[in-house]
Amino acid sequence: MVKADQRRSFASWIEDAFRLSQRRACEIARISVSSKRYLSVKPDQRPLRLRLRELAAVRLRAGYRQLHVFLRREGWKLNHKRVYRVYREEGLSLKRQRRRRHRSATLRVERPSVTRPNEQWAMDFMHDTLAAGSTIRVLTAIDLYTRECVALQAGKGFSGNQVAQILEAAGKERADLPRRIRVDNGTEFTSKALDHWAYWKHVQLDFSRPGKPVDNCFIESFNASVRRECLSQHWFLSVEDAQRTLDVWKEDYNSNRPHSSLGDVPPAEYRRGGNFVPGVERLQNSHAG
């Protein structure tokens, strides 16, 4: 579709080239005489265009929203839509780059089986709501061999640095860090901070395929237990209140709660090589009676 300013230019060319009247030139160009005679009352955009190009030349990776902030700081009274329009007209749009993710991840191959404690961990995030209506997040992490909970941390939000600090503390508590940690594609797990930490600690971040929660099924099953047995059973007043309850539940889960995948042995007892199996003990007592 030809724009109005292009039709006006075409009508002017016809009028000059063929020495026709303005009315006849407008009929040929299919534009009204009033539109041909229209003079814009908009302010001159050239100073804005010039300054926008200057800012874009200095801040090469800044998008139009960032440039709009810089212009407002300089005293320009304009909204982001106007900046975006001029930004596009000047050809300043950034080329979309394909995000490179999973820097510490290996190619998708058959995962090795877990043969000893502290060899592989898995971690994920959960959400819950406080009594006041605000949302909190809970970082969960387990040992895939013993199914022991190694981290259960509540917070308003987590950065990659905070996740690395929690893992570092869990590693010190268990005397070592795992060789591999299974995670999903959350922003905290794909952050540069966690990637750098994993590199220097020689830990592989094993990322799940997008949309395939079964790749990290063990932590998903653990999260269901946390939801069913802890989060859904309490009404938290604050993050601190939630953390106290989670700490109590974590201790009970590791030390007392029987785990069906471990022959009903609590995870901490299983890690120590204990032979106590509550289900078998109950069965023997019933026969003895």
Query: How do residues 64-89 score in pLDDT, each as one tens digit?
Result: 887 887 788 789 888 999 989 989 98
Read off the pLDDT band of 289 (50, 70, 90).
Answer: very low
What does the DSSP 8-state code read for residue 257?
S
pLDDT at 70: 76
Across 182-186, average pLDDT: 90
Query: How do residues 229-247 score in pLDDT, each as one tens digit?
Result: 899 888 899 999 999 999 9
Selection from 14, 74, 21, 20 nearest residue 48 by Cα: 74
Give 229's contacts (C-beta < 8 A, 6+ positions apart).
249, 253
Q: Does pLDDT of 286 surpass 80? A: no
Structure tokens at 135: 């949302």
Q: Does pLDDT of 108 surpass 60? A: no
Query: How do residues 132-179 score in pLDDT, each as one tens digit?
Result: 889 999 999 999 999 999 999 999 999 999 999 999 999 998 888 999
Across 22-38, average pLDDT: 88
pLDDT at 96: 66
Write b or e for each residue in 160-185: b if 16 or more Cβ atoms lie within 10 A of its Cβ, otherwise e: bebbbebbeebbeebeebbebbbbbe
